[in-house]
Structure 1
Amino acid sequence: MPHPIDLALIASLIGDPARAGMLSRLLEGPARTAGELAREAGISPQTASGHLSRLLDGGLLRVEVQGRHRYYRLASADVARALEALNVLVPTRPASVDVPQPLRFARTCYDHLAGTLGVALAEGLERRGYLESVEDGFALTPTGTRFVEALGVDVQALTRGRRAFARRCLDWSERRAHVGGALGAALTERLFTLRWIARRPEGRGVRLTVEGRRGFDRELGLSWP
C-alpha cells in the first residue's frame, strides 16, 4: 500500500491541467519533444520545461536523447494503465467538442487500437463469441483463444506477463470500450504486422488499409464504406 503522501504527490503531478494534457498526448501517441508538447498544451517552452522536469522527477516520464533532440515518453506501461483507469472517471464530452475525423476513426491509445475502429474490433470480437465481458475487463473464450492465436498472438505468453490481460479501456471519443492491456497491445501489433492498419504520418493516427478492410470483413464481419 503506497504512503498517502506519495499518492498525493502523484495526484498533484497529474492534477495540473498542463501536465495532464502532456500525459494525455503521450498516452495517445509516440514520443514527443518538449517543443511539440508545449505547442499542443498551449504554453511557452520555458513553462513546458518546468512541467517536464517535475514529471521526470516524479517517475511518470522518461527521456531519450537522439542527437540534439530530447524525446519524452511515458515511463512505463504502469503509468499508461493508471492514466487509462483515470479516463474512466472523465465526464462525457459535450456534443460541441470537435474531434478530428481521422483521430476519431482510428488511433493508438499508448500501444493499443482506439477510436471507432478500436471499439468496432472489441464489439466484433464479442459478437463472434471470441471475447466476453468480465468484472475486471475482458476474457477470451476458448474459440477466441484459437482465433487470436491463428492471427499470430501468443496467448500463453500474454498470460505469463505481469500486465493485466485485457482491460476495458473507455474510448475518449466513442465513449465505449476498446481492448486495452496485454491483449489489446498484442492484437494491435499483429494488425500492424499483417498490414491491416498503418500509422499516419502525423503520429498517433492510424488508417485502415485495403488488406485491413478485407480482413476485418472476412474475420469479424466489419465493413466500412
Structure 2
Amino acid sequence: MSGGDVDIARTAALFADPARVRVLAALADGRSLPASVLASEAGLSAQGTSAHLAKLREAGLIVAERSGRHRFYRLTGAHVGEVLETLARFSPVQPVTSLKAGTRLAALRFARTCYDHLAGRLGVAVMAALLDQGALAATDGIPTTQRREHDRLSAPLASHPYVLGPRAQEIFGGLGIDLDEVGRRRRPLLKFCLDWSEQRHHLAGALGAEVAEALHRRGWFERRKPGQRALRLTDRGVQALRDDLGVDLAA
C-alpha cells in the first residue's frame, strides 16, 4: 500500500516538551553525549532522561552508539539542528528571571555553535569578514550578510546568493583549510543559515564546519561549559580575528 499523508503533528509533539527540547539543544552542536550529561543539561532524573531519549530515537531524531560500557547519543544529522534553529527564529523569547539565565542567553547570542558551524554575533561577523576579504562573493549585488527579501524566518535558506570569491584559496588556505579536499565531500560545500538571534546570514555546510574546526584548532575560541553550545573567544582569538580577518569583537 502507498503511504498516506506525513504525520507532522506526531513529530511536532516531540518538540512541544521543554525537557526534550533541552536534550536536543544540548546535542545541537553535533557532538555525542552520554545520558548523564544530557540529564544534567535538561534538569531531569536518569529515568526521565531515558524515557525522552527512547522517544527521540524512535522518531529518528537521535541515534545511539556504544563506546565501551557507555552509550552516547547524537542527532541523526544537521537537518535536526536546522529544525531547532528554525523553531527558534519564530518562537517567543522567554522572560529572563535570573542573572544566570540572562548571562547564558547573552552568551548564546554572542557566540554559539549551530550544529557544527559558528553562529551568533561571532558567526555573522566571520561571514561578513569572508565577504569583505573576497573569500566569498555575493551574486545578487548585495555585498553584505543582510536578510534578503525572499528569506523565510520559518525555514532554512532554500537557496543562497553566495559563491567562492577571488581570494578563496588564499583566505581559507591561510586558515589551514584545503578547499579541494572539502569540496570532495558529499555534504554541500556552501550552505547558509539565517541566524535566529542576529537575523543575518552565517556560513554553514561543509565549509562552515571546516571554518569552525580550524578556528577551534588554533585556540581562537573554547566552549564555556561542557555540553553547552555557548562559546568564549580567547585573547588569542580576539587578536587573530582582528589581524587575520578584520573582525573586531573585543567590545
Decide which structure has greater helix share: 1
Cα deviation 1:49-106 (Å, max 9, x = unaligned): 222112112222122334554332112334334544x347524647868352333322
Deviation at 1:183, TM superposition (A): 1.0
Corresponding letter in the other structure for 1:58: A
**What's 2:224 paired with?**
200
Q: Is the Cα contact below 8 Å between 2:133 and 2:167 reproduced in 1?
A: no
**What's 2:130 paired with?**
125
**What's 1:25 paired with?**
26
Deviation at 1:173, TM superposition (A): 3.3
Q: Which stretch has the larger CA shift, 91-100 or 45-54?
A: 91-100
Deviation at 1:179, TM superposition (A): 1.3
Deviation at 1:110, TM superposition (A): 1.8
**What's 1:153 paired with?**
177
Corresponding letter in the other structure for 2:27: L
Which of 87, 102, 105 is the matching residue for 1:98? Answer: 102
Q: How does 1:69-148 map to 2 (within 5 A)?
A: 69-84=70-85, 86-87=86-87, 89-91=89-91, 93=93, 98=102, 100=104, 101-133=106-138, 136-137=159-160, 138-148=162-172
**In structure 2, distance between residues paired with 1:139 and 1:82:** 25
> Where has structure 1 moved over 6 Å in runs of 4 or more?
none
Which of 148, 157, 173 is the matching residue for 2:197? Answer: 173
**In structure 2, distance between residues paired with 1:167 and 1:88:** 19
**What's 2:246 paired with?**
221
In the superposition, the TM-score normalised over structure 1's length comes to 0.79
**Aligned length in residues:** 223
**In structure 2, distance between residues paired with 1:92 and 1:132:** 34
Q: How does 1:1-40 map to 2 (within 5 A)?
A: 4-5=5-6, 10-28=11-29, 30-40=31-41
Change (3 A) 1:139 1:201: same
SS in 1 for 2:167: helix
Deviation at 1:9, TM superposition (A): 5.0
Corresponding letter in the other structure for 2:129: G
Deviation at 1:207, TM superposition (A): 2.3
Deviation at 1:116, TM superposition (A): 1.8
Give the root-mean-square deviation of aligned CA atoms: 3.1
**In structure 2, distance between residues paired with 1:89 and 1:106:** 16
Change (3 A) 1:26 1:119: same
**In structure 1, distance between residues paired with 2:26 and 2:241:** 28
Structure 2's unaligned 5+ residue stretches are 140-157
Q: Is the Cα contact below 8 Å between 1:88 and 1:170 reproduced in 2?
A: no
**In structure 2, distance between residues paired with 1:79 and 1:60:** 7
Q: Percent identity?
A: 41
